[in-house]
Structure 1
């Protein structure tokens, strides 16, 4: 059995060559945002705020084996998780759960004893970090600054798979891509399951002053059976959507220290890339071998301030992004960030607009980041040097991507002042700069809660941009446009969220010349007003359904000149049912314009056609068996055929099936089918415009919580009808196939070994079959060293 302090490089190297005992479960990953966003309930308000938990101190360590037989647990404080606060209204839990909590100045220790009258129904499977949020899980939410703005989330399933996140109350979002280095172990027993967790203080931010502290805390168990019960030690009020504001406090931590908080992570990557010209007969593979070494530094200057730096980093995401269909879409797609340097403390840079979309930074060769907090003030700054320069070319009807073949510097600065639990004010600025190009953005934002149920958010931004001559001349449509320009944007939102009613009112104005090249803002020249009203319903305990919501939604878009872009109105009904069924039905009616007839003019009126779309959308997900999860997303109705400027008829079905074949083997299959038909003037040909299929297959075998092998295949098949695309020339067939076989060993999120192979194939009208055009063999080894 290994102690927490026993990690070493020899042990890691052995792990690549031989079997390693798994005393530590693999680190968990972030919780799904719906765990933080469900509506919770509470009538017994007198209890809220009075259930503080004393955290004892004892200078001992534990062995993480799930046994709970270390002497330190005898001195721990025991907390009963006896309430179901969602979907039930703070009713007694039908099952027993106990949590034990204690600390030793270096680690916060939490143990869970999760009884289950039918242990054979426990849902717990081996998997990679951050993939088992739908399992039985137990964990802790912790706000170490007790300002009710951010909380850490650490969860573990019965097999020891970790899930972690950081929840931001200001934005209402959980960053489940964040990965901390912490330790856990889970095991199934005859009466349920048990979990031990050790959270090192050096991954937390807090006031290290040697005094007693109060940290907002919730201890939690998620119990998925017919419905998913959220079991806790504290009630929650349905009239207050801020769960974090209602948590009681853990009291203690006077001896908490971050210690020698330095982490060095050297990494070595090697790849053999092969490409060939698939259109040239007898084309031979061309080799490109590459090997690089890099170094990451994370220095916890103190418990409140940290510095990240990287030199020649390997910013590869290793695993391919999930497939997305881009056909008949006019704006650029969004992809999640997965790179550790950008994810660490990324919540410091959040605001109402997505101004820091780091996937725009493609290939940096160095970077640095400083983040911290002092009392009511939080701050962050990062900068990188990117060897490529990509950014959105936004518009009000469509967007594109621009590429400058030159290095660029990117930076972001963020400051927030939390006056109290109700008022926060902030400032943000982003910078992208290179030869004859710059984009500077600066602005202010804030959030104010009038009371538990009502809040307002606002943000104002200004930008200054200069494009190189050849770039701005290529997109400039106005006779008076110049290479250097500036503009502003603002957004104002009001939100009401109470037990039975939810309401939202919002307005924003994004100037025609506003640019945020470091962010994800593909739309400009837009005035948008919107309103949404929802009525919530709740069932009695043990009913076939649990919660339901009936909603109406409206929004209206114009450009800055007042020209009409879109009016949208919808009614929506959603309900939770048996077998963890969630059903969402939406009927919508929209008047919207197509793309411009004359691209040389920015005018909308007289330069576009207005169409009316009526659509039905049905989304359903369920878990009919503990090993099987699925969802179906069906859209039927009218859809603009943008390329041919006409109204078509859309049938689109997106499905996903996740099947835990065994505790180790998992199949995840996603399929999207999209077909667009439109009246064909030439009646001898079909009305079909295109038929697109996207298949995304992931088959993984998890040896234990630290290692797995995964096969991924993403296949896109797009068939276009050249006889019913009158405005554009199309290839009748476009097929893409990418495959990857990957072995991974992860001692923690930074100490990893990858070995893999990937390739890509393509087929169009000139090729009779799928032809492989690229293949890559790669490996990566990194080791997180904490002196």
Structure 2
């Protein structure tokens, strides 16, 4: 009982008046102190009694504009070299706080508090510093605008079901150095946080004004609370932030980080004469980070180790026509990568496969964000296989108005005599609080393999983010010759127009139905060279979703679509047909478009309970089988379960299953099943052990046309494909601070002839690896 009394007294006895968000007291003069504190989560030093107190939180999700159910106070003050925050979070519903000793950034299923610092006060981008009740850290950036190569996010919007303005573009890949400790107390929790100015970029002026907002996630109820009374009826979340004012004489000191790295590998494969051979290798490398000024940073890298310590999560790829997106995870690219974001992802750094060295400059001068990088890739990834590809990328974006931006981009890939270059401009203009308009014009020029081509990308978007009614209308034209060699544009030669409209309704406090939204969508695609000949693809859909009391989420989709077949995809195809004297080979006839195709899906997500969270999606559709040019029917199931049996142990189970059958005779054209298990044991905040197992079972029948005749590709009968592969990855990880780490791991790939039998598994590759790096901060 005494801890509860102490917490209540602490909440009521701060000598500094509170700044209530609900009362619109959101402009805060931050006290300065030369006091020193021990970051232990206790908030018992006298300086906390003089800190500014941010209070009066409001509910933001699932329903905005209501007082928060649970009281939250956030204390803030600053010294010469750091800013300090103290969180006092009340929980009036009993022992329901969710908190474990999770790995860094892995606290989304726990109660947590996020501090958003818009250090340029430009309402475009904020540093995100998150903590769970035990002080486990989460960090990154949040933006209202573009999503880019780092996080793979899309720009926010008010009317598209694939875009969520309530979450913003959150990228948790960057890691910043800050201190945090927390503890559970009776009636809530407390967290103490110190963020050094060395970890931040901010304005080049003596007196600082920063944007700020605080978000609190309460898992037992599914609510998210906001310090400022942010509302859904706004095209910008960061534009609704408060401010921290009057901070002066901040001492950042010399910001210089040198990180030498040593790696070693032992790669195994079957020997030609039988048995097993291992090839060893080791490399040295180094990274440099220099904060030239508080608003400008230079990065350099030599022979960086970009090895993945965990394979990308498997994606179902059968019956896909276009490349799939995988997010960036490599540290050199992640630092400041948000400054390289563009509409339509013209910059995608995973196209730089195995860099040998590079340099990067990123920062903000006045109202203009600047980013430039020059990186040399390994010659193994040259188009001709003989040269060193060099990527040059430059991005500038200047602010005007309240939230609007005007930007330009230049990229080039120089590969011996070959090259691919791109130049473009974009503008995003916010108006009338709820709306923005975005325009983009780009041109590319490519010379490769003795062939020259060029083409434009033109795009326009109009978006409304209203509380009950929103929309997202867009049109995009991409020429056949357009090539973004440094970006991710996986389909060209089309004009794509789409409309998305949203209607939302909100329940009364405590009602079973908290909020419901329905999206109405329509899209049409034309060939870029001949739009007058009619559409080649299109769809209409209705997507209802609902959030229930306690955090349950339900959704569904009903769609109607049609698809045409691209004749260039069937070049080299022929068909075997019965003839009067035997088997004849005839040309493949591209079939007419598949029309009147219906599809549906259902999905559900549980609340975040103390020990388990689960989500599942089931869908079915009439679909073309694109490789065959024939009609098909698909069934797909996706499920994920997160288990937290103890504060230190986590398990994530995922399953994806896709089956495509031919509608002509019901035979199976393809199937793919990918189960995945990840186990993590967090020994302490710096040390954890992980094992990941992923099984990929793929079966694709030999190609047949819609009449059942075998298809030949370049004169060879297609044999089909069967793959049953198990990948195991083991990792020991020690990361006391970002940049300093020890990785030790082992990975192996095994295959078997019959799926999921586990009796005839045979190794195809394996390998041991180690990595050690230490960051010297000056």
Matched, 1:433 2:410: no
Give yes or no for contact 2:235–2:430 (8 Å, CA) kept in 1.
no
1-structure distance, mates of 2:607, 2:227: 27
Shift of residue 304, structure 1, vs aligned partner: 0.5
- Secondary structure of the residue aligned to 1:347 is helix
Matched, 1:216 2:215: no
Give yes or no for contact 2:744–2:769 (8 Å, CA) kept in 1.
yes
More off after superposition, 230-239 vs 335-344: 230-239
- Secondary structure of the residue aligned to 2:339 is helix
Give yes or no for contact 2:396–2:407 (8 Å, CA) kept in 1.
yes
Give yes or no for contact 1:147–1:420 (8 Å, CA) kept in 2.
no
More off after superposition, 64-73 vs 106-115: 64-73
For residue 769 of structure 1, what is the aligned residue in structure 2?
760
Q: Deviations over 1:150-195 (max 9, x none)?
A: 1111110112221122122222422222221222112112222111
Matched, 1:408 2:389: yes
For residue 395 of structure 1, what is the aligned residue in structure 2?
none
Give yes or no for contact 2:591–2:630 (8 Å, CA) kept in 1.
no
- Secondary structure of the residue aligned to 2:47 is helix
Q: TM-score w.r.t. structure 2 length?
A: 0.87
For residue 636 of structure 1, what is the aligned residue in structure 2?
620
2-structure distance, mates of 1:414, 1:497: 27
Matched, 1:779 2:770: yes
Shift of residue 719, structure 1, vs aligned partner: 2.9
For residue 91 of structure 1, what is the aligned residue in structure 2?
66
- Secondary structure of the residue aligned to 2:239 is helix
2-structure distance, mates of 1:462, 1:506: 19
- Secondary structure of the residue aligned to 1:704 is coil
Distance 1:496 1:286, change over 3 A: same
Matched, 1:546 2:531: no
Shift of residue 238, structure 1, vs aligned partner: 2.9
Give yes or no for contact 1:579–1:622 (8 Å, CA) kept in 2.
no
Give yes or no for contact 1:409–1:433 (8 Å, CA) kept in 2.
yes
Q: Deviations over 1:191-210 (max 9, x none)?
A: 22111111111221112432
Give yes or no for contact 1:81–1:220 (8 Å, CA) kept in 2.
no
Shift of residue 449, structure 1, vs aligned partner: 1.1
Matched, 1:532 2:513: no
For residue 3 of structure 2, what is the aligned residue in structure 1?
none
- Secondary structure of the residue aligned to 2:49 is helix
1-structure distance, mates of 2:727, 2:443: 41
2-structure distance, mates of 1:627, 1:598: 48
Shift of residue 607, structure 1, vs aligned partner: 4.1
1-structure distance, mates of 2:615, 2:281: 41
1-structure distance, mates of 2:701, 2:461: 44
Give yes or no for contact 1:257–1:303 (8 Å, CA) kept in 2.
no
For residue 311 of structure 1, what is the aligned residue in structure 2?
302
Match of 1:589 among 560, 563, 577: 560
Distance 1:553 1:723, change over 3 A: closer
Shift of residue 644, structure 1, vs aligned partner: 1.8
Give yes or no for contact 2:524–2:539 (8 Å, CA) kept in 1.
yes
Shift of residue 74, structure 1, vs aligned partner: 2.7
2-structure distance, mates of 1:283, 1:81: 71
For residue 315 of structure 2, what is the aligned residue in structure 1?
324
Match of 2:130 among 155, 163, 176: 155
2-structure distance, mates of 1:702, 1:781: 20
2-structure distance, mates of 1:775, 1:160: 37
Distance 1:608 1:507, change over 3 A: farther
Distance 1:723 1:599, change over 3 A: closer
- Secondary structure of the residue aligned to 2:777 is coil
For residue 130 of structure 1, what is the aligned residue in structure 2?
105
Note the aligned Cα RMSD (angstroms).
2.4
Matched, 1:251 2:245: yes
Distance 1:745 1:773, change over 3 A: same
Distance 1:202 1:119, change over 3 A: farther
- Secondary structure of the residue aligned to 2:343 is coil
Match of 2:262 among 256, 268, 279: 268
For residue 743 of structure 1, what is the aligned residue in structure 2?
732
Q: Deviations over 1:105-158 (max 9, x none)?
A: 211110101122345211112222111112100121111111111111111011
For residue 239 of structure 1, what is the aligned residue in structure 2?
233
For residue 184 of structure 2, what is the aligned residue in structure 1?
188
Shift of residue 545, structure 1, vs aligned partner: 1.7
Shift of residue 765, structure 1, vs aligned partner: 8.5
- Secondary structure of the residue aligned to 2:306 is coil
More off after superposition, 639-648 vs 552-561: 639-648
2-structure distance, mates of 1:94, 1:523: 47
Matched, 1:513 2:505: no
Matched, 1:61 2:42: no
Match of 1:658 among 619, 636, 642: 642
Match of 1:713 among 682, 693, 707: 693
Q: TM-score w.r.t. structure 1 length?
A: 0.86
More off after superposition, 253-262 vs 145-154: 253-262
For residue 698 of structure 1, what is the aligned residue in structure 2?
678
Give yes or no for contact 1:676–1:688 (8 Å, CA) kept in 2.
yes
Shift of residue 657, structure 1, vs aligned partner: 0.4
Distance 1:202 1:598, change over 3 A: closer
1-structure distance, mates of 2:401, 2:500: 28
Distance 1:559 1:601, change over 3 A: farther
For residue 443 of structure 1, what is the aligned residue in structure 2?
424
Matched, 1:760 2:761: no
Shift of residue 722, structure 1, vs aligned partner: 4.7
2-structure distance, mates of 1:598, 1:690: 19
Matched, 1:580 2:571: no
2-structure distance, mates of 1:765, 1:573: 40
Matched, 1:609 2:592: yes
Give yes or no for contact 1:262–1:297 (8 Å, CA) kept in 2.
yes
2-structure distance, mates of 1:405, 1:119: 66
Shift of residue 388, structure 1, vs aligned partner: 4.3
**Number of residue pairs the alignment of both structures matches:** 709
Shift of residue 762, structure 1, vs aligned partner: 2.6
Q: Deviations over 1:400-454 (max 9, x none)?
A: xx77453200121011110221431110111111112101111100111121011
2-structure distance, mates of 1:506, 1:545: 32
Distance 1:524 1:598, change over 3 A: closer
Give yes or no for contact 1:412–1:430 (8 Å, CA) kept in 2.
yes
Matched, 1:669 2:653: yes
Give yes or no for contact 1:504–1:532 (8 Å, CA) kept in 2.
yes
More off after superposition, 258-267 vs 714-723: 714-723
Shift of residue 606, structure 1, vs aligned partner: 8.3
- Secondary structure of the residue aligned to 1:180 is coil
1-structure distance, mates of 2:329, 2:695: 22
2-structure distance, mates of 1:414, 1:170: 15
Question: 5 Å matches for 1:168-179?
Answer: 168-171=143-146, 172=156, 173-179=169-175
For residue 31 of structure 1, what is the aligned residue in structure 2?
none
Matched, 1:350 2:318: no
Shift of residue 586, structure 1, vs aligned partner: 0.7
Distance 1:90 1:100, change over 3 A: same
Give yes or no for contact 1:422–1:450 (8 Å, CA) kept in 2.
no
Shift of residue 654, structure 1, vs aligned partner: 0.6
Shift of residue 565, structure 1, vs aligned partner: 2.3
Match of 2:442 among 461, 472, 493: 461
